[in-house]
Amino acid sequence: MSVFNQEGQTVHGDQYNAANDMNIEKGDTFSGDFRGAVLNVRSTLTNVTQSIGAIPYASDEDKQTLKDLIIRLNEALEEAANQDPGISEETEAVAETAKDLVEKANKEKPNRKSLEITGDGLVKAAENVAKVTPLVLTISKQIVAFILGTIMAT
């Protein structure tokens, strides 16, 4: 067992050296099996919330609503991972597919059919996690409906 201590952060077990795209904030608490994707999910969805601000055709209000949905999805995925550490691949798939959906929506002229296909993929990925935390599926459906219905309608 190794112990790593940097600026008050201690890691017991295998050390994970994060890339520059991951932030560990003061007060963050991590527990459980980190061989999975809990850290990857958080990093992925943090990057998604930052990219939402660049969606060219969405109002500030719509951007904030989408950011709030992504934050809620992140919280639900973390809850699922805490309840069942063995579901890490599934939670990571949801986070990556949500990221893909927002990236496609972020284009100057998004392809609606591509958004629909990716949205269907997000819902399918969320169905696998819903067995542990049903809220993941609910929020994923809200994200898809919001992007296709509200943002694409502008």
Determine the average pLDDT of the residues in 104-117. 94
Instruction: Judge whether residue 78 has pLDDT over 60.
Output: yes
Helix intervals (H) in 29-153: 38-52, 60-83, 88-105, 112-130, 135-145
- How much is the average pLDDT of 41-57? 81
Is the pLDDT at 15 greater than 90? The verdict is no
Q: What is the pTM of this model?
A: 0.72
Q: Which of 10-14, 63-67, 122-126 has the lowest mean pLDDT?
A: 10-14
How confident is the prediction for the chain on average, in pLDDT?
81
Give per-residue pLDDT as tens, 135-147: 999 999 999 999 9
Two tokens at 137?
A: 């599926």
- The two tokens of residue 97 are 């597919």
Which among 89, 81, 94 is positioned nearest to 127, based on CA atoms? 94
Kindly compute the dihedral angle of the four CA atoms of residues 125, 130, 135, 136, in this order, to the nearest 10 degrees. -20
Which residue matches tokens 């949905």? 69
